[in-house]
A and B are shown apart, each in its own frame.
Chain A
Amino acid sequence: MRILIVDDEPLARARLRTLVAELGMAGVEVVGEAVDGVDAILAHESAPVDVILLDIAMPRMDGLEAARHLAALENPPAVVFCTAFDEHALAAFEAHAVDYLVKPVARERLRIALERARKFTVDQVRRIGDEVKTQSRSHICARIRGSLRLVPVGEIAYFLAEDKYVVVHHDAGEVLIEESLKTLEEEFRGRFVRIHRNCLVAVDRITALERTSDGGTHALVRGAALPLEVSRRCLPAVRELIKHL
């Protein structure tokens, strides 16, 4: 069983590493460490592990969101949360048999968690991922030619629906994701606004609204190469939002 330790504190990682070594469980080894959620996902992507010991409060991307992204991967690892004091965030998991450890982690408690994790099936892991009710994500997870990309939401200019995909236009290019514009709109309400049936734009990137010669309206969006069409139906709501900026 291959283990990845994820915590932003070096001493916390060192402690888990020592404890796992001391347990001396057959076939169990720590194969890597990561310092935040993004780092953890990328580490798992490049060298898949069976179990991730995942801290919750971390910069960049917290453990809850990382668990959600991980569960959606093809080969999701079993996640055991480690937390100092976060009862509320973890209340949801207790009912679903995901284990979590409280810091300072006790050695024997870690053994129980690892033994439990050994029995996790992929289906269980996925179900748990669905249960993770995070706030809106900090990153969007996408695949480009097989390799994983995590795009920070702050770098996204707009989402454009095309056929059954949504194209994420961000500062460093564009990626395809298989999510619906509707769920994205709900998740990022307030941060992104619907300007057209097929388009969701970052509110703080809209610089101006322009009338076109044929009577329509375009939005100028920072980071978008071309002006984006604002549909008549969405126009009042967009206007209202811009006014408040």
Chain B
Amino acid sequence: MSASGARIASRGWMPDFCSLPILGSVVVTVELIVLIVLIAPGQGGWPTLRDLFAASFLAQWIALISAAVLCKTGPWLGRRPVLFGATLATLVPAVVAVACSAIAQSLDRSLALGWIPRAEAPTFLLSNAVLAAVVGLILMRYIFVLQQWQRGVEAQAAARIETLQARIRPHFLFNSLNAIASLIRIDADKAEAAVEDLAGVFRATLRDERADHTLADELELIDRYLAIEALRLGERLKVARAVEPTLHAARIPALSVQPLVENAFHHGVQALPQGGVIAISAHRDGGDLCVTVRNPKPVQPVPRLGGNHIALGNIRERLRMRYGERAALSVDAGADYHAVTLRVPLQEGEAR
């Protein structure tokens, strides 16, 4: 999408008349219009081959010159307000039609060909101009709609790939596979456990979000995830957990806390040469369940560690869909620590 995208962007709403596919559709469309005009009733019967040739010649002449002018002026027109730009763009074929028709008329007259019936002469220019303007307008509208649709399809595909990548987290996947590959030689049992953990994490990631999910399920998922990261980081990763046992059965959205832990790992512990402690705590606050994930972080942020920045926004969006305003995600960040708290309402009968 890069090259064509840039070209589209620089022209705004204006179709790119320099491109071959668009020129092709201009030629074909104009030829079809010529046929319609010639065959339409009231033209004095079925057209001869000569009529067709003469009309096509003039029409294509107008069309190609108009396209050339719009090709050159497109970027400028595209940056104008739509109404103004579109009006000017529509006037282009009209003006070209008047000019070409006048030339054709004088040629016809001086060569005494008689291809253009003399009686029609005064209206000849005007009707050609109107016809060219209308055809031009329809064509531009058609191409514009087509491009909008194409852009929509491209954007949708890009969004889908992004979502998929965020879910699969290539960095995490390949690093884990690398660690497992190494572990197979050193400690086959540990490698086996790591494969199970990895499978567990990905199964959870790809599972239907509406499935029933409790805090205990989420904590287990976090344990599996952290077991893999601990394998990779060795002693640099430490975990502290403080969860009120009564809260284990509380229902929370799947993958609402694990991504927070993953962020804590990426931007905190992994970025610190000496590592650190990820503290996960859960307590009840009135009718709400509060889960906090806290981690130390480097004072100078490390920009490129392949973390997933979309996590917070994504969780917020999901909370809003499910709980409306009753759930929240709040961030408390200091110079050397980062803490995120998830607050969701406890449901009837849960840990009261």
Which of A42-50, A100-108, A143-151 forms part of the interface with chain B? A100-108
Q: Which of A81-113 contact B (CB under 8 A)?
A: 84-86, 89, 102-105
The 8 Å CB contact of A11, one of B173, B179, B303, is B179
Whether B185 lies near A36 (C-beta < 8 A) is no
Whether A59 lies near B182 (C-beta < 8 A) is no
Whether A11 lies near B182 (C-beta < 8 A) is yes
Bound complex: CA A84 to CA B170 (Å): 8
Which of B72-80, B122-130, B201-209, B229-237 forms part of the interface with chain A? B229-237
Whether B305 lies near A102 (C-beta < 8 A) is no
Do A154 and B299 form a contact, CB below 8 Å, given A9-B232, A11-B183, A104-B174? yes
Whether B299 lies near A18 (C-beta < 8 A) is no
Residues of A within 8 A of B178 (CB): 9, 11-12, 15, 84, 103-105
Bound complex: CA A8 to CA B181 (Å): 16
Residues of A within 8 A of B233 (CB): 8-9
Residues of A within 8 A of B222 (CB): none
Which A residue's beta carbon lies closest to that of B302?
A: A59
The 8 Å CB contact of B182, one of A14, A85, A102, A138, is A14
Q: Is B177 an interface residue (CB 8 A)?
A: yes
Q: Is A153 an interface residue (CB 8 A)?
A: yes
Q: Is B47 an interface residue (CB 8 A)?
A: no
Bound complex: CA A197 to CA B182 (Å): 54
Residues of B within 8 A of A71 (CB): none
Q: Is B298 an interface residue (CB 8 A)?
A: yes
Whether B302 lies near A62 (C-beta < 8 A) is yes
Q: What is the interface of chain B, defined by CB distance below 8 A to chain A?
A: 170-171, 173-175, 177-179, 181-183, 185-186, 231-234, 270-273, 298-300, 302-306
The 8 Å CB contact of A85, one of B270, B302, B306, is B306
Whether B302 lies near A84 (C-beta < 8 A) is no
Bound complex: CA A84 to CA B231 (Å): 16
Whether A85 lies near B271 (C-beta < 8 A) is no
Q: Which of A16-41 contact B (CB under 8 A)?
A: 18, 35-36
Whether A18 lies near B303 (C-beta < 8 A) is no
Whether B174 lies near A103 (C-beta < 8 A) is yes
Bound complex: CA A86 to CA B231 (Å): 21
Residues of B within 8 A of A10 (CB): 234
Bound complex: CA A86 to CA B165 (Å): 13
Bound complex: CA A227 to CA B306 (Å): 41
Which B residue's beta carbon lies closest to that of A134?
A: B304
Residues of B within 8 A of A9 (CB): 175, 178-179, 232-234
Which B residue's beta carbon lies closest to that of A103?
A: B178
Do A104 and B171 form a contact, CB below 8 Å, given A11-B231, A59-B298? no
Q: Which 6 A-B pairs have the closest CB atoms?
A: A15-B182, A85-B170, A84-B174, A103-B178, A11-B182, A104-B178
